[in-house]
C-alpha cells in the first residue's frame, strides 16, 4: 500500500482544530478542551492511534447523542483511600481526568488513592493521565476496558478488549518514566491509523475472518494478545479491575464503540495512585529511578540497536522531534479538521472494527 500525503503542524494548532470541531459537534468548551489536550498529547508523542484519527468518531457520537453533554459528575468516597467517580456517560477524557485529581488528593493524604470511574465514554491514551500524577511526585497505574475484539488464547472468536495498562513514576530532574501498552500485540487504534495511512500492518498483530494472520488493516476481524497466554491473563485482570470491580459489564458484554453510537458506553477505568513518600525517602526514590535509567542506557545494545531505552522512552524522543519539526498528520484528517463538516456518518451501526453492518 502506498503512503498517504502528510502535513506537519504544531501541537497548539492541532489542539485548537480538534477543540473547535468537538465544540461544533456540541461538546462544551471545557470538556472539548480536555479531549483536545488528550488527543494532541497522543499525536505529539507518536501515538497517532489515539490522536486526531479519532475526532470524526467522537464528533459523530457527540452529535448523535451517544455522549452525555450535561453529565452529573459525582465523586463518592467509599473509604479512607478509595472512591467511585460517577461519570454519567460524559466524555471519557474529562471524566477520567477529574477522577485522577481525586485519586491524587487521596494519595497525598493517605499514601494511596484508588478511584474507579463508573459509566464513562472512551478516554483515549492512558499515558496522559498517569504522566500528570507522576509530575506531582506520585506513582500511577491506570487500566480501562475496551470493546471485545481480541481472541482469547486458544480461541477463535473475540471475547476481551485490548484492555490497556499505563504506568508512570517520577524522576529527579527529568520527565517521568511513562509507558502505556495495550494487552494486545497492538491497540485497535494502530489498525485505525494504518487504515488512515493506507499502509500494511505486521502479520503478528491481527487475524482475518478465517482466523488467519493478515497484513491488510481493512481485513482485520480480531486482534491477538501479547505473548499468548500471558497477554490473555493481563487483559482478564484489567477487565476485572476496571469492569467487574465497578459493577459494570465485562468481557464480551462490554459495549462496542460503534454498534449504537446514540447510546452511552458505560465503560470503566481504574486509577491507582501511590505516594512514594509514605514508603521511602522521595528524593532518594527519584534518584534511584534516574540510576535505573542511566544503567539501562549504559547496557550493551543488541545487534541492530544503538542504545537500550527505558519503556516508553521512544515517545519522549518522538515528542522532542515533533516539537522541532511539527506533528505529522494525514492530510485527509487535517482537511477534515479544517472543514465545516462535523462528521462523515460512517460509524453508527458498524461492527467492532468500524465496518458498516447491513
pLDDT higher than 60, residue 358: no
How much is the pTM? 0.93
* Residue 59 banded pLDDT, cuts 50, 70, 90: very high
What is the set of domains in the chain, with CATH numbers? 6-338 (3.30.1370.60)
Helices 313-325, 29-44: axis angle to 10 degrees equals 100
Rounded alpha-carbon distances, angstroms, from residue 348 to 160, 259, 343, 344, 345: 21, 6, 11, 10, 7
- For the chain, the average pLDDT equals 94
Please report, rounded to a whole number, the percentage of residues in the chain having pLDDT higher than 70: 97
pLDDT higher than 70, residue 134: yes
pLDDT higher than 70, residue 2: no
| Known catalytic membership, residue 48 | no
Q: Residue for cell digits 460509524?
A: 347
Spatial CB neighbours of 53, under 8 Å, sequence gap ≥ 6:
189, 192, 193, 196, 330, 333
Mean pLDDT of 64-78: 97
Q: Tens of pLDDT along 10-41? A: 999 999 999 999 999 999 999 999 999 999 99
Q: Tens of pLDDT along 255-269? A: 988 889 999 999 999
Please state whether beta strands 165-169 and 139-144 pair in parallel, antiparallel, or not at all (unpaired): antiparallel
> Which of the following is catalytic: 122, 174, 218, 253?
122
Rounded alpha-carbon distances, angstroms, from residue 104 to 88, 114, 176, 314, 320: 21, 9, 16, 27, 27
Mean pLDDT of 71-96: 98
What pLDDT shows up at residue 154? 84
Please state whether beta strands 267-274 and 139-144 pair in parallel, antiparallel, or not at all (unpaired): antiparallel
Mean pLDDT of 292-296: 98
What pLDDT shows up at residue 304? 95
Radius of gyration of the chain (CA): 20
- Residue 92 cell numbers, joined: 471519557
What pLDDT shows up at residue 326? 98
* Residue 191 banded pLDDT, cuts 50, 70, 90: confident
Q: Tens of pLDDT along 214-224? A: 999 999 988 99
Burial bucket for residue 239 (CB in 10 Å: 0-12, 13-18, 19+): buried
Q: Tens of pLDDT along 233-260? A: 999 999 999 999 999 999 999 998 888 9
Lowest mean pLDDT among 85-94, 179-188, 347-356: 347-356
Mean pLDDT of 262-277: 97
pLDDT higher than 60, residue 1: no
- Greater confidence (176 vs 192) lies with 176
3-state SS, residue 227: coil
Amino acid at each position: 500500500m502506498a503512503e498517504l500525503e502528510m502535513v506537519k503542524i504544531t501541537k497548539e494548532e492541532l489542539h485548537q482544530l480538534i477543540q473547535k470541531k468537538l465544540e461544533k459537534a456540541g461538546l462544551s468548551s471545557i470538556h472539548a478542551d480536555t479531549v483536545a489536550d488528550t488527543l494532541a498529547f497522543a499525536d505529539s508523542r507518536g501515538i497517532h492511534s489515539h490522536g486526531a484519527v479519532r475526532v470524526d468518531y467522537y464528533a459523530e457520537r457527540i452529535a448523535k447523542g451517544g455522549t452525555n453533554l450535561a453529565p452529573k459528575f459525582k465523586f463518592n468516597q467509599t473509604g479512607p483511600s478509595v472512591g467511585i467517580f460517577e461519570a454519567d456517560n460524559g466524555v471519557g477524557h474529562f471524566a477520567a481526568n477529574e477522577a485522577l485529581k481525586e485519586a491524587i488528593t487521596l494519595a497525598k493524604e493517605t499514601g494511596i488513592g484508588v478511584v474507579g470511574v463508573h459509566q464513562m465514554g472512551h478516554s483515549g491514551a492512558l499515558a496522559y493521565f498517569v504522566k500528570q500524577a507522576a509530575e506531582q511526585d506520585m506513582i500511577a497505574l491506570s487500566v480501562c476496558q475496551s470493546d471485545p475484539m481480541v481472541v482469547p488464547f486458544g480461541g477463535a472468536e473475540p471475547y476481551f478488549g485490548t484492555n490497556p495498562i499505563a504506568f508512570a513514576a517520577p524522576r529527579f530532574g527529568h520527565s517521568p518514566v511513562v509507558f502505556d501498552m495495550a494487552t494486545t500485540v497492538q491497540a485497535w487504534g494502530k489498525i485505525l491509523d494504518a487504515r488512515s495511512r493506507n499502509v500494511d500492518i505486521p502479520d503478528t498483530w491481527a487475524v482475518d475472518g478465517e482466523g488467519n494472520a493478515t497484513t491488510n488493516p481493512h481485513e482485520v476481524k480480531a486482534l491477538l494478545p501479547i505473548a499468548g497466554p500471558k497477554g490473555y491473563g493481563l487483559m482478564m485482570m484489567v477487565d476485572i479491575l476496571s469492569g467487574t470491580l465497578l459493577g459494570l459489564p465485562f468481557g464480551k458484554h462490554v459495549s462496542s464503540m460503534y454498534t449504537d453510537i446514540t447510546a452511552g458506553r458505560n465503560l470503566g477505568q481504574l486509577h491507582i495512585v501511590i505516594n512514594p513518600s509514605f514508603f521511602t525517602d522521595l528524593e532518594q526514590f527519584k534518584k534511584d529511578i534516574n540510576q535505573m535509567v542511566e544503567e539501562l542506557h549504559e547496557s550493551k545494545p543488541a545487534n541492530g540497536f544503538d542504545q537500550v531505552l527505558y519503556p516508553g522512552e521512544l515517545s519522549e524522543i518522538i515528542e522532542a522531534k515533533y516539537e522541532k519539526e511539527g506533528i505529522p498528520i494525514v492530510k485527509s484528517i487535517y482537511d477534515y479538521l479544517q472543514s465545516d463538516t462535523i462528521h462523515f456518518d460512517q460509524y453508527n451501526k458498524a461492527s467492532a472494527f468500524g465496518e458498516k453492518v447491513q
